[in-house]
Amino acid sequence: MLVSLRARNPVVITGLLHAVYTHGEFGHGWTGMSDAKRATIRQEVGEEIEDLIARYTRLTWMPNTIPGIRARLDAMSPFERDVLLVRLANELEDHLDLGILYPLDHKRRRAFMESDLPATVEMAERLGVPALAKGLAETFAEVSSARLSPALRRPHGESFRIPLASHRPRLRVTLSHLLARWLDRPTRRP
């Protein structure tokens, strides 16, 4: 999507790697952003792209934060605008395949889309990407009118993660996850 919008190459790469901190565990079993992970990513893709990914990760995208993001759009730095562009493209990607309708919490997700995400159409227009605005508006309308068989619902709401067949959890990772469950603590580190 970002390529079709003629986004700068660092923004396109950010779009491809936007979830590296939230979904990538880097071999030790923990997700989340850390100084060590940031150094690894910075070494691989460079400082600008890593900074964009980190800003994307820190962007709080919830019903109570979207109005503030929208209100300060005109005062955003070019980097912040790039991060917002990636966020808006991600919203379009998340909705194009009707993906929000498959989780059990589909009613909450649909309500979020219908009440809070129309602001994304305006934000895309203000960013100067009318094709993205049009895509968002059309896709949200399609999702709003779509009906899905209950048989297709799934209990989890996140993306599927299918590890390679050669992937084997390390003993240290397995033990840390078991210990975290035993202590009733989350298995995520900041």
Task: Give me the pLDDT at residue 164, please.
Answer: 57
Q: Are 111 and 117 in contact (CB under 8 A)?
A: no
- Domain map (residue ranges) of the chain: 1-58+160-190, 61-159
Task: Give me the pLDDT at residue 190, please.
Answer: 46
| Alpha carbons 107 and 78: distance in angstroms, whole number | 35
Nearest to 90 by CA among 167, 15, 14, 165: 15
Instruction: Name the least confident of 42-46, 65-69, 87-91, 149-153.
Output: 149-153
- φ/ψ (deg, to 5) at 123: -60, -40
**Where is mean pLDDT largest: 58-62, 106-110, 168-172, 184-188?**
58-62
pTM for this entry: 0.82
> Higher model confidence: residue 161 or residue 49?
49
> Higher model confidence: residue 88 or residue 99?
88
Give residues with Cβ within 8 angstroms of 109, minimum separation 6: 100, 101, 103, 157
Backbone dihedral region of 33: left (phi > 0), alpha (psi from -120 to 50 degrees) or beta?
beta
Q: Look at the alpha carbons of 171, 174, 177, 182 in this order and tell me if their dihedral is positive or negative.
A: negative
Task: Give me the pLDDT at residue 162, please.
Answer: 60
| Alpha carbons 152 and 104: distance in angstroms, whole number | 10
For the chain, the average pLDDT equals 88
Q: Are 53 and 14 in contact (CB under 8 A)?
A: yes
Task: Give me the pLDDT at residue 149, please.
Answer: 86
Nearest to 55 by CA among 33, 83, 77: 83
Average pLDDT over residues 11-22: 95
Q: Are 183 and 141 in contact (CB under 8 A)?
A: no
Compute CA 154 distance to the chain's CA centroid, rounded to the nearest angstrom. 19
pLDDT digits (tens, 9 = 90+) for 113-131: 999 999 999 999 999 999 9
